[in-house]
Amino acid sequence: MDPKPVPIGSASGELLQATRCSDEHCPGPFSRRILVDNSPPRSAATAIDSPRNPPADRRGSPIDGFGPKRGSARVCLSLKNSTGFLCLPETGKARGLSGGGRRLGSEAMRMRSMILVSLLALLSPALAGSPQQAASVRTAYEKSMEAYGLKLKLAKTTEDREAIERPSPKEAAGRMWTVIRGDLAQEWAIEPAAWFMRLAAPLIEVDEVGVAKPLFRDEIATVEAAVAQNHVKSPNLAPMCMALVAAGDQQALNLLRRIQKENPDKKVAGTAALGVAMVAKGLGDEGHVMRERLTMLRRAIIDAADVKLDQTTVAKLADEELYIIMNLSKGTKAPDLDGVDSGGRPMKLSDFEGKVVMLVFWNTKLGGESELLKWVSALRRDARFKDQPFEVVGVNSDPRETLRQMQAEGRVDWPNFSDPNNELGKVYRVGSWPLAYVLGGERTIHYVGAVGTFAEVTADAVLNE
């Protein structure tokens, strides 16, 4: 049981977390909690030392740049609801802390505690979430992804690639959420909240019974609610519209429809219209859905054609959606692919006409290929598909040598196009990997989406038509 915290001064009634460390990482194995109340300043400060190796939930989190040098000791304080720390070195008698709730015997330590509390009280507004902190989180993650991509390019074998640790989008999303969660009503938080949603939306967790669920579902719903309550008419919503597309849920679609109708800025309304068209394709290909999508695409082109979204524009994305409606929607005949295999031999998708084809666009650049290859191997051995007019056909966008090596190792024993420049992927408008299409015997599209159970069930149904 924790010892009872003792008041040491006045700083707006905030609960402070103080951590003393004596190794490379700050905070370290000595942790103290200090309570600051609204009473007049005390003439003496009292701190409670925790036992060595306190439970994990009583330790602070190290902040880049604040760790002490080996052999030094620091005291780190943070305000409740703050994402920052104030760390100062301990010196002289200040290191001689007493335990069990006894008064600290050193006047120097009492003075030091009051200085720390005063400084932290003054700095607390700066330690709250801020645009600068949000930009720092984003920059750090994007630079780590650039370094990861470079390492993958330099890796010479599959084992080397698999040994490279991919930066964690979960950790980056968590850090961004810590920065923005208390400020979602503020205008500055719109853009970093949009970045958080784009990063967090694809992340899932599998529960104890094997059901996959969105990892940040509650946080994304909180952002959507904050936008609905505070920002529907903001002129800065264009990035958020695309983040709502990434979320892709019914609440996101309803919010996009509302922004399209209520936002007075035509460019924002047009961007929201594009978002409606993109999210609504998940509702199917019924007539009323297609009519709404086409109406929204026209609105987007008229009102927001030149709006820039990362490296593209609303007009280009709208053109892509029109292409998808005309050529890549369920029920349409999929485009043929004309390319080569890993040995440079000509290969066409139409070579498999008459078979149900699971067309899989994939690569090893983003990791996770081991799970994909296991899935494909199990699928081809499955009694539902074995000895049936069925084939898995891959479109691999790794360097040709990488695909050739995986085939030589026996890890890939099914037909694959070699598409290192994503030329074939562009025909099918592939922007994320892996992606599966289920095609009927005449290349009619029956499914577009993630690899896995839904793709399998669709292929089985088509085989048994």
Same domain, 202 and 149: yes
Q: Which residues pair with 445 in a beta bridge?
A: 439
* Residue that is last in its domain, among 300, 327, 354: 327
Q: Containing H/E element for 225?
A: helix 217-230
Same domain, 40 and 85: yes
Distance between terminal CA atoms of the chain?
Answer: 65
Question: What's 333's DSSP letter?
Answer: B
Residue-range definition of the domain harbouring residue 14: 7-127
Same domain, 447 and 360: yes
Same domain, 372 and 444: yes
Residue 43 falls inside a structural domain: yes
| Amino acid 155: pLDDT | 87
In whole angstroms, give the CA distance from residue 264 to residue 239: 16
Average pLDDT over residues 220-233: 98
Q: Which residues contact 232 (CB under 8 A, 6 or more apart)?
A: 255, 258, 259, 262, 263
pLDDT classification of 233: cutoffs 50, 70, 90:
very high
* Residue that is last in its domain, among 97, 112, 127: 127
Residue 19 falls inside a structural domain: yes
Residue 284 falls inside a structural domain: yes
Residue 308 CB: number of other CB atoms within 10 A?
A: 10
Residue 412 CB: number of other CB atoms within 10 A?
A: 21
At residue 132, the 3 state secondary structure works out as helix
Is residue 297 within 8 A of residue 318, CB to CB? The reply is yes
At residue 339, the 3 state secondary structure works out as strand
pLDDT classification of 211: cutoffs 50, 70, 90:
low
Our count of domains for the chain comes to: 4
Residue 394 falls inside a structural domain: yes
Q: Which of 8-17, 167-176, 382-391 has the lowest mean pLDDT?
A: 8-17
Same domain, 185 and 274: no
Same domain, 28 and 119: yes
In whole angstroms, give the CA distance from residue 40 to residue 281: 62
Residue 332 falls inside a structural domain: no
Average pLDDT over residues 42-69: 35
| Amino acid 111: pLDDT | 55
Same domain, 318 and 247: yes
- Which of 19, 123, 118, 34 has the alpha carbon at shortest distance from 68? 19
* Residue that is last in its domain, among 224, 259, 281: 224
In whole angstroms, give the CA distance from residue 194 to residue 348: 40
Q: What is the largest CA-CA distance in the chain?
A: 88
Q: What is the CATH number of the domain that holds 295?
A: 1.25.40
CA angle 364, 365, 366 (to 5 degrees): 95
Q: Where are the beta strands (DSSP E) in 193-263?
A: 204-206, 212-214
Same domain, 107 and 134: no
Same domain, 217 and 239: no
Same domain, 196 and 242: no
| Amino acid 204: pLDDT | 79
Q: What is the pLDDT of residues 351-410, one digit of tens each?
A: 999 999 999 999 987 777 888 999 999 999 999 999 999 999 999 999 999 999 999 999
